[in-house]
Structure 1
Amino acid sequence: MRTMRLSLAALPLALFITHMGVAQTVPATAPAAAGFSLDRQQAMLLERARRGGAADLVATAGPDGGMVLNGTIQGRRFVLGVPANWNGEMILFGQGYATPGSTPTVPADPFSKDPSGGTFRHAYGEGIAFGIAATDKSGVATESGALNAMRLRALAAKMGTRRFYALGGSMGGSIVMTLIERYPRAFSGAVSMCGVTEGWLPLVQQLADIRGAYDILTAGTPYAIPGDKDLTRSALPTVPPPGSPIAGDAFREQQKMKLIAPVLALFQAAKKSPEGSEARIIRQIAAIGGFAPDPAAIGAPLYSAALGMDDIIATMGGLPIGNRGRVYAPPEMTPEEAADFNRRMPRYDADPAAIAYARAWHQATGRFRIPLVTVHQVIDSLVPFSQSENLGRIVARAGNGARIAQYAVPATKFPLPGGLEGYAHCGFSPAQNIAAFDAMRLWVLTGKRPGPDAVR
């Protein structure tokens, strides 16, 4: 990936230990890929990793004489990128959300498949290492993402890391907030890009609301989505049934397309008749969910809710949200229409245990001790800008405003089928990703808070 981006564009339909002196080459006494000879410092790092508890180690050549190290720690996969001129600093990266049912992993080559949107290569060029730990599960995985990052941190400290930074986007932003609030002395600085930084509770409620509104307002039309209409369950499965001719990620992409195709049809009809009923439906759905009236900004949260609710409940030990006494006020409706909408909206109650889990993993408290930089596009198709705004309010109430620098950057769009366009999720340019990291690191090194134009 050239940008830190999790959007419908990823879908198949075009959517959705300083190194001193001259290095000496030594035989690869620890596992190394064919054709790659470890120098003395790299061999020492590999041995430290092995003694620190890492297993299944495989070293490959990184750019400019550096090393990429794949392995496992306590059975969890990880990858490290260590430059030849490593300065003892390391980024630990929190990965984004993956569709439930998919296999958690890390990129074997994080340079060719870079989830950081260019930050890794930039930092590596500055002598900074980076690491990614796999989550234990797909779907909502803030808990294991944070715990596994801390396992990797412990290993990296044994290898000689002296300073750690936390970085993540989307769900990775939730992992970042968990790390810096639960482990206040473990990191020197942190960056969240397009992150779930306020917490899961408001976002899950928005996902359920937009799904409920979409089901009600498209009922009986060609734009209705398939599957179960119970908002407390997933609409469609993400694991293929026995004997299915389509398996794995191909099956999950097929399920996504079943949900996205009606949304695209709705927007194509609205494009032909901007003042027609379809355009009105779009405005009402968007307003109820708190998303933009845009095909990606409705499609992405809709399929996330429709494919992810079973995982949310299984992960959190129940339903973390409820709408029993809520009165919805859809725009452009008569009082009678609004009353009918509220009668048709499914009602459900939150489980206290699930609320407690969501607060622990993770609802922001605003209490952290290190510089935090957040960047959010003013319109994001999946994680609303309100996550950033509300984090700022939480931090201010905690009396911690001096430790956060927040940046709002313009939204970006990408092409969709049928002549449509949609807002991106985490659609940052490499320059924006790099600027955010550099602003945070300079803040850590100098103590000077970055200015208002540090990220644009």
Structure 2
Amino acid sequence: MRSKKKPVIAAAAAMTVVAITGSAVGCAETADATTRKITGTLSDGSTYLFEVPANWNGTVLLYSHGYNPGPSNPAKNAGSAEVNEKLLADGYALAGGSYPGVGWQTPNALGDQIATLDQFAAQVAAPRRVIAWGESMGGEITSLLAERYPDKIDGAIAMCPAVAGTVPWFNTYLDGAFTLRTLLDPDGTVPLVNITDVASTQSYWTQLVENAQKTAEGRARLALAAAFTTLPTWSQPGTSEPAGTDHAAHERNQYYSLSTTFTLFQAAVRADMESKVGGAFSWNTGADYRELFSGLGQGAKAEVDALYKQAGLSIEDDLGALQAAPRIEPSDPQAIAKMNEYAPTGSPRMPILTVHTTGDDAVFPSLESPYAAKVRTNGDTALLRQTYVSAPGHCNFTTDEVVASIKTMDQRLSSGAWPSTSPEDMNKRAADNGTDSSHFVEFQPDPLPRPELYP
């Protein structure tokens, strides 16, 4: 079980508000003459938040926050209050925005984040250095900023990002849903794409998964669906990592993910994204499920084989049923193309560090592999470093792991060469903060079954 030791930081005193006029500016505050806090509103209605410590080192950390279902939509400049306090104490200025709406906001966020950075330069000072960073959807945004704004940003840290692109990411969700419906409810009519009734769709998946977990046959088929979705075998926060051959424990973790994260993304998040691009952007025509199964990682196949044998089921029969089932057509090419406008191309124009938890059951570590392959193809491997943290769940980073990642990028920009990003050195960099709550590890994610962006 992972612990999160908090650094000792003095609490800020009460703030004195100082009004500032201007069309894109709200107000500035001073925290005991040590930290300036500036808030304001951009022309599209999104808000921003700056904090500048008295010992500012000249570097601005431009934070892109993750998916926010609403209804409130505050500006954020760090992932947590603890991280915020530690970075300010280390002399970094923090900046971030709200985006103009809730849900999937990547298309709007790119311009807003640059406008937020421009406001910082106008109201505070031109920074010596800008490091963009973000988590989840914010990691996706950060990876795109690294490709599109080299004149504004010097380095990027994308944490648990969907760097392979949303289309292949949600095709894995579709493969899991297709497997569940075909094998557990072959006469079911719940839509797999074009989601309109979010509540009933989410309830359907939850009930289907919960019922399946009650039988050996159901658990075997849940494991197969989890394998096609590339769900990790350790995903439940607050638990210890199961042994490598404890297939029952692996399946229990995947059941946890299927009954929580999966149902949310396959219903509410998919519906939101479809509404933003004007249609369905997932399909499985052309997918050979026997071939996809043979291409899975050894651990995933071993778990499925073991559970199928225990249940007395034939994996070949179930793969045949998947092959014969009616497919989801790529019905809206414009929606697919629109979504792919925001898929990272693998051509970063600055150093970029990705950081992923090994047990991420929302934005899977398998999404890192196609991105690395694109970067290699484009000849930009010198700009990319990929690191992994041993932890269950999505973006489940400790403060030390976040700060170590930022210090790594800072060193890269100062020296012009990457410092070591080995797990040992990343953990040592984290330990320099005076605590011991860092778990960087060597890790090779399983391949993404269908990395293609287009049908």
Q: Secondary structure at the match of 1:378?
A: strand
CA contact (8 A) 2:40 2:47 kept: yes
After superposition, give the CA deviation of every residue in 1:265-290 in whole Å (9 maximum; x if it has no partner): 644x36xxxxx212212211112222
Contact 1:210 1:302 in 2 (8 A): no
Aligned to 1:372, which of 339, 347, 352?
Answer: 352
Paired position in structure 2 for 1:203: 169
1:76 aligns with 2:41: no
What is the match of residue 105 of structure 1? 73
8 A contact 1:58–1:71 mirrored in 2: yes
Partner Cα separation in structure 2 for residue 214 and residue 117 of structure 1: 39
Map 1:83-98 to 2 at 5 A. Answer: 83-98=53-68
Q: Deviations over 1:23-71 (max 9, x none)?
A: xxxxxxxxxxx96436xxxx6xx75xx44x424x134454772132222
Correspondence 1:96-135 to 2 at 5 A: 96-99=66-69, 102-103=70-71, 105-106=73-74, 115-116=79-80, 118-135=82-99
SS in 1 for 2:16: coil
C-alpha displacement at 1:76, in angstroms? 1.1
Partner SS, residue 157 of structure 2: strand
Q: Give me the whole-angstrom Cα distance separating, in 1, the residues matched to 2:287 and 2:347.
A: 31
Report the CA distance between 1:220 and its aligned residue: 8.1
Query: Structure 1-normalised TM-score?
Result: 0.73
Separation in 1, partners of 2:81, 2:177: 30
Cα distance, 1:135 vs. partner? Answer: 2.0
Paired residues for 1:427-446 under 5 Å: 427-446=396-415
Taking the aligned partners of 1:117 and 1:215, their CA distance within structure 2 comes to: 42
> Which residue identity is paired with 1:284?
L
Instruction: Give the secondary-structure state (helix, strand or coil) at the position aligned to 1:93.
Output: strand
Q: Are 2:372 and 1:407 equivalent residues in the alignment?
A: no
Letter in 1 for 2:126: T
Could you say what secondary structure the match of 1:123 adopts?
Answer: helix
The answer to whether the 8 A contact 1:117-1:429 is kept is no
Question: 1:184 matched to which residue of 2?
Answer: 150
Instruction: Give 3-state SS (helix, strand or coil) of 1:373's partner.
Output: strand
Give, in angstroms, the shift of residue 440 of structure 1. 0.7
Equivalence map 1:298-313=2 (5 Å):
298=258, 299-313=260-274
C-alpha deviation, 1:130, in angstroms: 1.0
132, 136, 139: which one pairs with 1:166? 132
Identify the match of residue 255 of structure 2 among 288, 295, 312.
295
Aligned to 1:54, the other structure's residue is in SS state: coil
Please point out which of 153, 158, 164 is paired with 2:117: 153
- 2:55 counterpart letter in structure 1: N
Distance 2:263 2:212 in 1: 13
Q: Give 5+ residue unaligned stretches, structure 2.
A: 5-12, 233-250, 294-303, 309-313, 427-439, 441-455
Identity %: 22
Partner of 1:282: 222
How far did residue 77 of structure 1 move?
Answer: 1.3
**For structure 1, which runs of at least 5 residues remain unmatched after alignment?**
4-33, 239-253, 271-275, 413-423
Q: In the comparison of the two structures, how many residue pairs are matched? A: 371
1:419-441 per-residue CA deviation (whole Å, 9 max, x = no partner) reads xxxxx111111111111111011
SS of the residue 1:450 aligns to: coil
Q: Secondary structure at the match of 1:319?
A: coil
Cα RMSD after superposing both structures: 3.0
In 1, Cα distance between the equivalents of 2:395 and 2:204? 24
Which residue is 1:249 aligned to?
Answer: none
How many Å separate the matches in 1 of 2:207 and 2:158?
A: 32
Equivalence for 1:25: none
